[in-house]
Amino acid sequence: MSTRKFINRLAIGGICTAVALVASGCGAGGPAATSGSAGTNTVNVLVEAGGHAELTGVAEQCKKEAGVDVNFVELPYDGMFNRLSSEFSSGNVSFDVAALDSVWLPSFKDAVQPIDELFTDEAKKDIFPALVKEANVDGHFIGMPAWTNAEIILYRKDLFEDAKNKADFKARYGYDLAAPTTWKQYQDISAFFTKDGMFGTDVKGGVETEWLAHVLQAGSPMVLDANNKVVIDNAAHKEALDFYTSLVKDAPSGAAQVDWAAAQNLFNQGKTAMTRFWAHAYRQIPKDSPVAGKVGAAPMIAGSAGIGGVPGPWYLTVPKATKNADAAKKFVKCAYDYNDKGIESNLGLAARISAFEKYQDMPGYESFKPLIETLNGKATATRPATEKWQQIVDTVLVPMLQKAVAGGDSATLLADAKKQIEDLLK
Amino acid sequence: MSTAERTTYDGGTRHKAAPAPSAQTGTVQPRKRRGVNREGLEAGRRGTRTLLWILLAAAMVLYGFPFLYLLFTSFKTPIDTIAVPPTILPREWTLENYANALGRNGVPASFINSIQTAVISTLLSLVLAVPAAYGITRYKTLSGRIFIMAALVTRMVPPVAIGIPLASMMASMGLADTPIALSIAHTTISLPLSIWLMSSFFEAVPKDLEEAATVDGCSRLGALWRVVIPVVSGGVAVTAIFAFLASWNEFLFALLMTAIRSQTTPVVIANFQTQFGLDWGSMTALAAVYSIPVILLTLLLQRKIVAGMTLGAVKG
């Protein structure tokens, strides 16, 4: 058969296929993704790709126990906000439940319905206090935490237990080498391990959460106070920023560009002896990593205000526009009832204290005790509840941190940031 | 090589060049200067050719390296994919990433959706662009010129600005989460440039051809179908490939308008980057597999594409 004939046949075949598909008007992925009809027991759940696995076990259990079938609509994190904005603003949603990042709750508070009935006294006791507070917007609970996370300290147990390192460290600093419990110790250990192509820690200029945790530990609310007044130029913010930049000398170069992925890679490659990182990373160290099986976990370190971390929860919400609110709420209840199912997923997280406690003494879950301690920390708090938060982060906080880790003057940078944030909030 | 020994080519037969006799002395004078020039010319050509080859190699490396890096990464082990500093070749070759990527829920369906959407969008673009471009180039009216400029202006609007309203419109028409809706959206991207491309191809076809066809009894549409389109078939192939690729690789509209049943592969590839980590191996494996159909299609239509590219060159 000549090429011409082949191409012609291919084109004719393509046209016939297309016509057939147009006629059928269907896609290959399964049932239509429109919000279910009232009274049906099938719900569409919109979830970020990383969180899908977290809810798979819940969905299976929910089908068994409550008879609710679940279709997941999986989207990448970077596009999810746009998609949610688009559907909520049109009033025509393709999902019955949406898993929302905590920073999006204030933006979509008017598009989701209250689920107060699910927040029983018993439930409120079993959810970390900061999350209970964050889920309540304008007097109503609008999101059920599905899983949460917080930064803890991950360190190289093998290096910390090495006899020579222990002796050298004691000789140099006068106390035993162990997982740090004060920021002074963290600085000393970072300096100690910065040698022979290795670094004591990382400094992340590309993300803001870690610096904000230091702010909480120093005793100030993050960026905005309870009255939405910008307090980014107060003493606690400066202290936190100065401490943050003091670690640059013991961190890999290019701190301004280091974000979560880069820091995780550096640690998993054995280039850093310690990292402050989200707790889920403990269970995600690749098996062929040089540090696999050699990592220890410790709670976030306390500052003058106590242990403080910034939780990273995701909330299950029910849109006002769904036609299937009953089944949607049944699924949200399932997600609370069978919350521990998420722990067995790749991500390995939950939201209920009892779920974490159930696993905390099992091998492989050593990060849970430090995580619980951090989430229960006296200074732990969620991000300010403002619709502009993401904008503040992207346009003010991260650029400011990048300048700070590159050697900028902290007081000047914080003063500039205050002005920019005030302009954004006007 | 001396001038006397220099060789020439004559109809493929290699022989010694006979030196020309001098008019004054009758002796044979070597044409030194001319020989030197020719040698210099040859050396210059060789130098230019070498330089061009180097530039070509550099351009190939520049354009090909990202794809090769993606391909090599798809064969790396998890720890190798995140090596600091990165390595080009895998330390250990593995097919695990392909198994993970292709075994993931929704991947085969997303491939079918991508093909479906790209084929429908390509057909829509051609069906609309060919008559539009033909009308504009043949009738040369003011409204035609305004139309073609206006078509280009639509390309200047950022897709995100029309993506959200478009998604709402599709939902209100009951087309939410269907390949048809996405194809229509993709046609808004490819149609303007398809019209421009086809216009330039139609411009290259002499009017005499159509007139001859009409003299032979063809209607204008008949002349278009039987005479003009076969002449510009290379251009149609180029336009079709352009429209197909525009849809095949499109991400934003797919993100905004698809969910369970019509999600295309670019969205699934992006799903390997989550808030909690990036699965480089699986992501690159799926991206490599996804690029195979377009590479095959381009190779298959290569001759048509070259013909289409040179169509305008013979205009006149």
pLDDT of residue B260: 82
Alpha-helix residue ranges (DSSP H) falling in chain B: 32-73, 78-81, 96-103, 107-139, 142-153, 159-172, 179-203, 207-215, 220-223, 229-231, 233-248, 252-257, 265-270, 280-300, 302-311
Whole-number average pLDDT of chain A = 91
Distance, CA of B78 to CA of B94 (rounded, Å): 10
Compute the nearest-CA separation of A89 from chain B (Å): 9
DSSP state of A279: G
Of A14, A49, A86, the CB nearest to B271: A49
Q: Is A195 a member of any domain?
A: yes
Q: Are residues A212 and A82 in the same domain?
A: no
Interface with chain A: mutation pick from B124, B252, B275, B282, highest number of A CBs within 10 Å: B275
| Yes or no, beta carbons of B260 and A32 under 8 Å apart | yes
Q: Are residues A254 and A402 in the same domain?
A: yes
The SS3 of residue A274 is: strand
pLDDT of residue B85: 80
Q: Are residues A103 and A123 in the same domain?
A: yes
| Yes or no, beta carbons of B255 and A286 under 8 Å apart | no
| Yes or no, beta carbons of A29 and B123 under 8 Å apart | no
| Yes or no, beta carbons of B252 and A286 under 8 Å apart | no
Which residue of chain A comes nearest to B172, CA vs CA?
A: A92
Q: Please tell me the least confidently modeled range out of A334-348, A382-396, B203-217.
A: B203-217
pLDDT beyond 50 at A3: no
pLDDT of residue B35: 54
Q: Are residues A344 and A215 in the same domain?
A: no
Which residues on chain A are in Cβ contact (under 8 Å) with B106?
29, 74
CA angle A208, A227, A127 (to 5 degrees): 65
Compute the nearest-CA separation of B274 from chain A (Å): 5
Q: Is A159 a member of any domain?
A: yes
Interface with chain B: mutation pick from A60, A147, A265, A284, highest number of B CBs within 10 Å: A265
Which residue of chain A comes nearest to B115, CA vs CA?
A: A18
Q: Are residues A206 and A344 in the same domain?
A: no
Which residues on chain B are in Cβ contact (under 8 Å) with A278?
276
pLDDT of residue B43: 86
Q: Is A4 a member of any domain?
A: no
Q: Are residues A167 and A246 in the same domain?
A: yes
pLDDT of residue B154: 79
Of B171, B180, B276, the CB nearest to A90: B171
Which residues on chain B are in Cβ contact (under 8 Å) with A393?
none
Of B160, B274, B301, the CB nearest to A48: B274
| Confidence bin at A344 (pLDDT 50/70/90) | confident
**Tokens of residue A416, six digits:** 């500039």
| Confidence bin at A290 (pLDDT 50/70/90) | very high
Q: Is A343 a member of any domain?
A: yes
| Yes or no, beta carbons of A289 and B79 under 8 Å apart | yes
Its domain, for residue A215, covers: 151-311+383-425
Q: Is A116 a member of any domain?
A: yes
Q: Are residues A188 and A136 in the same domain?
A: no
| Confidence bin at A53 (pLDDT 50/70/90) | confident
Q: Is A10 a member of any domain?
A: no
Distance, CA of A317 to CA of A116 (rounded, Å): 12
Is A398 within 8 Å of A206 (Cβ atoms)? yes
Domain with residue A343: its CATH number is 3.40.190.10
Angstrom CA distances, B132 to A348, B119, B308, stand at 56, 20, 19
Q: Is A270 a member of any domain?
A: yes
pLDDT beyond 50 at A32: yes
| Confidence bin at A287 (pLDDT 50/70/90) | confident
The C-alpha R_g of chain B, in whole angstroms, comes to: 29
| Yes or no, beta carbons of A290 and B79 under 8 Å apart | yes
Q: Are residues A129 and A156 in the same domain?
A: no
| Yes or no, beta carbons of B78 and A73 under 8 Å apart | no
pLDDT of residue B13: 40
Of A3, A26, A82, the CB nearest to B256: A82
Distance, CA of B251 to CA of B60 (rounded, Å): 26
Q: Are residues A145 and A157 in the same domain?
A: no
Sign of the Cα pseudo-torsion (B203, B204, B206, B210, in order):
negative
Domains, chain B: 106-314 (1.10.3720.10)
CA angle A236, A242, A244 (to 5 degrees): 100
| Yes or no, beta carbons of A29 and B168 under 8 Å apart | no
Q: What is the mean pLDDT of residues A338-351?
A: 90
Query: Using one digit for the tens of pLDDT, what is the confidence trace for A125-162?
Result: 999 999 999 999 989 999 999 999 999 999 999 999 99
Distance, CA of A205 to CA of A184 (rounded, Å): 21
Q: In 10 A of CB A15, how many CB atoms?
A: 13
pLDDT of residue B86: 84
pLDDT of residue B119: 94
pLDDT of residue B302: 78
Query: Averaged in consecutive runs of 10 residues, what is the pLDDT profile of chain B (316 residues)?
Result: 40 43 48 64 89 93 92 92 85 94 91 95 95 91 89 82 86 87 94 92 88 87 88 89 93 90 93 85 96 88 73 50
| Chosen domain end from A340, A357, A375 | A375
| Yes or no, beta carbons of A32 and B172 under 8 Å apart | no
Indicate the number of domains in chain A: 2
Compute the nearest-CA separation of A204 from chain B (Å): 16
Q: Are residues A139 and A192 in the same domain?
A: no
Q: What is the mean pLDDT of residues A243-271?
A: 94
Is B238 within 8 Å of B154 (Cβ atoms)? no
| Chosen domain end from A359, A375, A391 | A375
Q: Are residues A360 and A319 in the same domain?
A: yes
Compute the nearest-CA separation of A412 from chain B (Å): 32
| Yes or no, beta carbons of B256 and A83 under 8 Å apart | yes
Pairing of strands A42-48, A97-101: parallel
Compute the nearest-CA separation of B123 from chain A (Å): 8
pLDDT beyond 90 at A315: yes
Query: Residue B42: which of B32, B54, B53, B34 has the closest Cα?
Result: B34
Q: In 10 A of CB A2, how many CB atoms?
A: 7
Q: Are residues A262 and A411 in the same domain?
A: yes
Compute the nearest-CA separation of A354 from chain B (Å): 23
Q: Is A279 a member of any domain?
A: yes
Which residue of chain B comes nearest to A265, CA vs CA?
A: B82
**CB-based contacts of B126, cutoff 8 Å, min separation 6:** B194, B236, B239, B240, B243
| Chosen domain end from A357, A375, A393 | A375
pLDDT beyond 50 at A52: yes
| Yes or no, beta carbons of A29 and B110 under 8 Å apart | yes
> Phi/psi at A94 (nearest 5 deg)?
-95, 10
